[in-house]
Amino acid sequence: MDKNAPIGVFDSGIGGLTVAREIMRQLPEERLIYFGDTARLPYGSKSRETVIRFSRQIIRFLRTMEVKAIVIACNTATSYALDEVRKDEDIPIIGVINAGARAAVSATKNGKIGVIGTNGTIDSGTYEEVLREMKPSVEVFGKACPLFVPLVEEGLLHDTVTDEIASRYLSVLKEKYIDTLVLGCTHYPLIRSTIARIMGNEVHLVNPAYETAVQLKTLLKSMEMNRDEGQELLQSEKYQFFVSDMAEKFRGFAISILPDEVKETVKINIEEY
Ligand code: DGL
């Protein structure tokens, strides 16, 4: 495997850009190919079988780009598909759940951890399973917050509507006296300040996007797969973006998250893979 090959990152749409952003920050020398499945989002309300099928198609596409590793930058796809797709592939594939769970387990003092995510992520029980494997004594409280994704996509990051909905969703977790809360959906770091204000200072928020980039860095280092430093590249070669629909809309959103890195977004037909 070529260590100068790019890293493939995928999500159902724009949310995984929060993971891509962390990878760009923490691994600035790496090349990245991002795919957002904008034609078929949201994944959070789809069945396990469908999310696995979509994930397999995207991985087939990314492999045509000869990526050296893949990051599933979507909590729902990680919950449903990570174990399945790993069986078929011979390159490292990581998701966002393990890294987030590890950070939560090391942060909690009272052993009460909250997890918020899409219906798919919470219903799958994957976070709970992984957290308990890491530390059997923890109590895990999951809460699906399905309206957060459309609120973020509508740009209502600092809005009274978001405050009101967040207060309603999070009240059940406040009643459990959790001291750690996992932001178990790619969109939630974008409303982190609202969630932090409602939960209060005593609750530690875990951003799996950040933790995943840390895990990827460690993985590449251990495999001696870091890209050679000092090899000059054009920005457009370094970061490439593909979507299954609405390329211009995606690009506009991507520019708001990754101001300098998005030159062009290419639409592909993912059903062909
Ligand atoms: N990317 C998804 C996740 O992290 C949220 C958006 C969706 O439902 O597709 O679970």
pLDDT at position 236, please? Answer: 67
**Does position 229 have pLDDT exceeding 90, yes or no?**
no
The catalytically annotated residue of 185, 246, 262, 270 is 185
**Does position 232 have pLDDT exceeding 80, yes or no?**
no
Query: Can you read off the two tokens belonging to residue 77?
Result: 């796809």
CATH topology agreement for domains 7-95+210-272 and 97-208: yes
- Mean pLDDT score, 251-273: 91
Region 7-95+210-272: CATH code: 3.40.50.1860
Which of the four pLDDT bands, split at 50, 70 and 90, describes residue 237?
confident
**Does position 44 have pLDDT exceeding 70, yes or no?**
yes
pLDDT at position 259, please? Answer: 73
- How much distance in Å is there from the Cα of 188 to the middle of ligand 1? 10
- Mean pLDDT score, 42-55: 97
Q: Which atom of ligand 1 is nearest to the CA of 96?
A: 4
- pTM, whole model, 2 decimals? 0.95
Q: For ligand 1, is residue 78 a contact (CB within 6 Å)?
A: no
Neighbour-count burial for 214-241, b at 16+ CB within 10 Å, e otherwise: ebbeeebeeeebebeeeeeeeeeebbbb
pLDDT at position 72, please? Answer: 98
Region 97-208: CATH code: 3.40.50.1860
Q: For ligand 1, is residue 57 a contact (CB within 6 Å)?
A: no
**Does position 86 have pLDDT exceeding 70, yes or no?**
yes
pLDDT at position 235, please? Answer: 65
- Mean pLDDT score, 166-186: 98
Mean predicted lDDT score pLDDT of the chain: 95
Q: Is 145 a catalytic residue?
A: no
Burial class of residue 267 (count of CB atoms within 10 Å of its CB; 0-12, 13-18, 19+): middle
Domain boundaries, the chain: 7-95+210-272, 97-208
Sign of CA dihedral 165, 194, 262, 222: negative
Q: For ligand 1, is residue 36 a contact (CB within 6 Å)?
A: no
Q: Which residues contact 273 (CB under 8 A, 6 or more apart)?
A: 57, 58, 60, 61, 64
Beta-sheet strand order (sheet of 204-206): 139-144, 112-117, 180-183, 204-206
